[in-house]
Amino acid sequence: MKIALAQINYHIGNFKSNIEKITNAIIKAKSQGADLVIFAELAISGYPPRDFLEFNDFVEKCNSAIKQIAKDCADIAVVIGSPTFNSAAEGKPLHNSAVFINDGKIQYEHHKSLLPNYDIFDEYRYFEPGKKFEIISLKGKKIALTICEDLWNIGNDPLYTINPMDEIFKYDPDFIVNIAASPFNYKQAEIRKSILLKNVKKYKLPLFYINHVGAQTELLFDGGSMVINKEGEIIEELKYFEEDFKVFDTDNLKTYPAKETKNQPSKMELIHDALVMGVRNYFQKLDFKKAILGLSGGIDSAVTLAIAAEALGSENVKAILLPSEFSSDHSVNDAKILAENIGCKYDIISIEEAYKSFTNTLSPQFKNLSFGLTEENLQARIRGVILMALSNKFGYIVLNTSNKSEAAVGYGTLYGDMNGGLSILGDVYKTEVFELARYINRNTEIIPENTITKPPSAELRPDQKDSDSLPDYEILDEILYQYIELRNGPKEIIAQGFDEQIVKKTLKLVNTNEYKRYQTPPILRVSPKAFGMGRRIPIVAKYLSR
């Protein structure tokens, strides 16, 4: 039997586009002699549809789309993910289903059993778990049909009390199909591959795995769909960060040459490619055309500009240099050189006059109080106002340039440098931003060397350095990683040799600045634990904040 994997970039709620892409893949599969074509989890709706699932109209449109697609399946079978209504009187109103279409008819709906409800996942909010474990038959083959998490309860530390594949295996299937929506982080591809290989090793069955590709706001999907034969050899991996399609013959998997081992992409290559895809898809799916950002001459705005230009084209990104009386000449020059290297247009708008006007206006209230944080924030907010004015007037989307280290400890100004429609680096620690800059410069110098090597500074007061307010980033980022990604508490972090006072101060900053992060733009997720939907911390809380 010939099976096609169709790895598609879906668009949540865009039924016309999703149906067109799915139908085109079915036609392509037919032309290549496929008997079955497999699409991803919740392909019809896009993933994650979230509270759209609370609207009957939305789910009805999913069902109508399935029926429309079925009309094109007279000579081919299809497995495709969609929300379906729960016909039982009890339980949640919906199932997360894999719909099996054959001979132009919907013949079977297999419901996902294991519904993840951690990190970015909220599936048990909407779906009733499937409780039936069966196989489907096609052309004499028995198929173990599973949906994403249903294969993940394997190993020595199970999260759930049942393993669906153990139940299906009792019916002696010939191979496993797993349709998935597995979001990207820089560790996920290897973890995912390990889980799939464990299943093949345990059940001694070939496995056909299909994943989403593309960005859905902050969630990025890297593709990497694959076929593994029963000997545990990865026969083929589909492309990462791109749509792809390929047909495989179940009778000849063992004769396929095992895929050559190639160098695994580096962490920075993965993050870079994910961010470029994330920016490109965010703009495409919202019909945005042009971006604007404040270019300071510092590392964060430099990397943001480079990624945005690669994603959107340099002609569609505008850089605004916003020097103040505290801006150094080399910062302005570095920013100009970068813009010229990339080939994007830029303007220089000094904020000195606006800053003096504000301070004059406020002088009766400020009286003779000394220069301080208020005046620093005022400069950042003036810059934010200028960028937003240009955005409103000319239709640009402002790109936020804050990194994860700054967002973690509140080292940013609300309604100033924290403005923006999308945060590109909000899940990238400062030390990683430097690594990313080196990766961007891997073939030629795009980001000026001086931007990478000079001490980071907000340049909001004379001779300011980030290190005046924060620990060195090498120390800060490791503490933040231990707390945010690994969820270690102060005792565990201090026990690793970090200074007690620095640890306590850092964790206090993280927790007391939660209110700022609630007001940030969407952050492209590239790590195992990002700020946003996958990390839910109360604002009004006392834990480690006093």
Q: Are 107 and 137 in contact (CB under 8 A)?
A: no
Cα(235)–Cα(474) distance, integer angstroms? 41
pLDDT above 90 (res 188): yes
The CA-to-CA distance between both ends of the chain, in Å, stands at: 64
Q: What is the mean pLDDT of residues 410-439?
A: 97
Contact call for residues 403 and 461 (beta carbons, < 8 A): no
Report whether the peptide linkage leading into residue 538 is cis, meaning its omega lies within 30 degrees of zero: no
Q: pLDDT by residue (tens digit) across 347-363?
A: 999 999 999 999 999 99
For the domain 269-466, what is the CATH code?
3.40.50.620
Residues in the chain: 546
Our answer to whether residue 148 is catalytic in this structure is yes
Instruction: Give dist(CA 96, CA 106) in Å, integer.
Output: 16
Q: Is pLDDT above 60 for 217?
A: yes
pLDDT band for position 368 (cuts 50, 70, 90): confident
**How does 119-158 read in b/e, with b if 16+ C-beta sit within 10 Å?**
bbbbbeebbbbbeebebbbbeebebbbbbbbbbbbbeeee
Cα 32 from Cα 28, distance rounded (Å): 6
CA distance 518 to 331: 31
Q: 261 pLDDT exceeds 70?
A: no
Q: Which CATH number is correct for 2-251, 3.40.640.10, 1.10.3720.10, 3.60.110.10, 3.20.20.140?
A: 3.60.110.10
Q: Which of 124, 122, 127, 126 is nearest to 110 (CA)?
A: 127
Over residues 172-184, the pLDDT tens digits come to 999 999 999 999 9
Residue 19 DSSP symbol: H
> Could you say which of 112, 285, 404, 430 is catalytic?
112
Question: In the beta sheet, which residues pair with residue 215?
Answer: 220
Distance CA(95)–CA(111), nearest Å, equals 6
Per the rule left: phi > 0, alpha: psi between -120 and 50, beta: everything else, 204 is: left
Label the pairing between strands 136-138 and 207-210. Answer: unpaired
> Nearest CA to 419 among 304, 275, 261?
304
pLDDT of residue 178: 98
pLDDT of residue 258: 55
Known catalytic residue at 508: no
Which of 290, 295, 297 shows the shortest CA–CA distance to 313? 290
Percent of the chain with pLDDT over 70: 97
Q: Looking at residues 472-485, what average pLDDT do you find?
A: 97
Q: Which of 148, 432, 514, 516 is catalytic?
A: 148
**CA-to-CA dists, residue 406 to 399, 459, 460, 470, angstroms:** 16, 15, 15, 10
pLDDT for 152-162, tens place per residue? Answer: 999 888 899 99
Q: Which residues contact 84 (CB under 8 A, 6 or more apart)?
A: 59, 62, 63, 94, 95, 97, 99, 109, 111
pLDDT greater than 60 at residue 385: yes
> What's residue 470's pLDDT?
86
Q: What are the extents of the domains in the chain?
A: 2-251, 269-466
Token output for 513: 């600045």
Which pTM value belongs to this model? 0.95
Question: Could you say which of 2, 21, 41, 310 is catalytic?
Answer: 41
Single-letter residue type at 489? G
Q: Quick one: average pLDDT of 76-92?
A: 96
Beta strands in 56-188 (DSSP E): 77-85, 94-102, 105-111, 136-138, 141-147, 175-179
Active site residue 112: yes
- Tell me the pLDDT band of 252, cut-offs 50, 70 and 90: confident
Q: Is 80 exceeded by the pLDDT of residue 516?
A: yes
